[in-house]
Amino acid sequence: MWLYLVSLVGLWTLLRFFRERQVVSHLQDKYVFITGCDSGFGNLLARQLDRRGMRVMAACLTEKGAEELRNKTSDRLETVILDVTKTESIVAATQWVKERVGNRGLWGLVNNAGICVFAINEWLKKQDFANILDVNLLGMIEVTLSMLPLVRKARGRVVNISSSMGRVSLCGGGYSISKYGVEAFSDSLRREISYFGVKVAIIEPGGFRTNVANYERLSHSIEKLWDQTSLEVKEVYDKNFLDSYIKSIKSLANTCSDDLSVVTDCMEHALTACHPRTRYSAGWDAKLFYLPLSYMPTFLIDAILYWISVKPAQAL
């Protein structure tokens, strides 16, 4: 019996290996639009796809980021300034893309733009949550809805960058909330537009050393949020908690990988493979920690996080 089981698993692994290595033809004729290309995953993916000969349209938040990217790529790559929180900017970028792709449509839409804030929920105001949701979730949704007719015309791909924290909420601050939303939107979108030959892939990276995960930026934002909290909240948590919390964020940031290609390779596969996966867990921490943790019973996850987390001054 064990022999049959091993043979079956081996056959399935072999079939999956060959299936996932089938590549879409005529890649040099396909257009891909990527948001958040000033740095990080978006910047590297734009350069990676450009080297492969694809027609990359890279959206940057700043002209400086766009210029630096153009200097590192071929003449095929084009840039546009895009703020995903502004409807007029999205409309202008969509028209810009439409003029370039014409009747061929848009093969790939990569929603990569994002920001990150880790903090205690009680330290935040409604607007603090809204600022993150506007970029990571609502902006991503509006860009997708605006570009979707072009993607449908090409029977192409939508690749949404979520996070391992879109599976397990380790802390507050709006980041996990936004990524849970990315997961839900992507699932519903995938089911709705599968009838038109469009595929939707979700990338769930673990910890990687990008500007989003920059320790100095994260600690500065935490201290800023702490300063705006009430005296009552500060008494409940106290300054020692703040210092310990920032140290825990530093420890988490130190575990981040420098090899961003682990993520961009997943993004590239989702765009170029004949049979892309629905979800990609990028990074060993995603595969060995976050993914297994997400399938554990809730009470067990709560107990583990309670045990390893920093405790407030007035905790029971």
Q: What DSSP assignment string belongs to 30-46?
A: -EEEES--SSHHHHHHH
Query: What is the average pLDDT across 102-114?
Result: 95
With H, G, I as helix, E, B as strand and everything else as coil, classify residue 283.
Answer: coil
pLDDT of residue 143: 98
Is position 238 within any domain?
no
Range of the domain at 115: 22-212+258-308
3-state class percentages of the chain: helix first, strand second, coil last, to nearest 5: 60, 15, 25
Is position 94 within any domain?
yes
pLDDT of residue 116: 87
Is position 186 within any domain?
yes
* Vertex 84: Cα angle to 138 and 114 (nearest 5): 75
Model confidence at 63, pLDDT cuts 50, 70, 90, reads very high
Model confidence at 316, pLDDT cuts 50, 70, 90, reads low
Query: What is the average pLDDT across 93-122?
Result: 94
Determine what percent of the chain is predicted with pLDDT higher than 90. Answer: 68
Model confidence at 79, pLDDT cuts 50, 70, 90, reads very high
72 vs 116: which has the higher pLDDT: 72
pLDDT of residue 40: 93
Say which residue the tokens 């014409």 belong to: 102
Q: What is the CATH number of the domain that holds 136?
A: 3.40.50.720
Model confidence at 219, pLDDT cuts 50, 70, 90, reads confident
Query: What is the average pLDDT across 301-314?
Result: 84
Model confidence at 14, pLDDT cuts 50, 70, 90, reads confident
Is position 100 within any domain?
yes
**Catalytic choice (4, 31, 175, 195):** 175
Rounded CA gap, 189 and 145, in Å?
Answer: 10
Is position 233 within any domain?
no
Ramachandran angles phi, psi of 55, nearest 5° = -90, 100
Model confidence at 204, pLDDT cuts 50, 70, 90, reads very high
The count of structural domains within the chain is: 1
CA–CA distance from 55 to each of 52, 74, 196, 228, 265 (Å)?
9, 10, 23, 46, 17
Query: What is the average pLDDT across 14-28?
Result: 82
CA–CA distance from 10 to each of 1, 5, 279 (Å)?
14, 9, 22
Model confidence at 132, pLDDT cuts 50, 70, 90, reads very high
Model confidence at 33, pLDDT cuts 50, 70, 90, reads very high
Is position 73 within any domain?
yes
Is position 89 within any domain?
yes
Active site residue 175: yes
With H, G, I as helix, E, B as strand and everything else as coil, classify residue 82.
Answer: coil
Query: What is the average pLDDT across 9-36?
Result: 85
> Which residues fall within 8 angstroms of residue 99, CB to CB, at 6 or more apart?
none
Is position 12 within any domain?
no
Query: What is the average pLDDT across 246-255?
Result: 85
pLDDT of residue 210: 87
Model confidence at 92, pLDDT cuts 50, 70, 90, reads very high
pLDDT of residue 315: 66
Model confidence at 104, pLDDT cuts 50, 70, 90, reads very high
Of the candidates 197, 201, 269, 258, the one whose C-alpha atom is nearest the C-alpha of residue 52 is 269
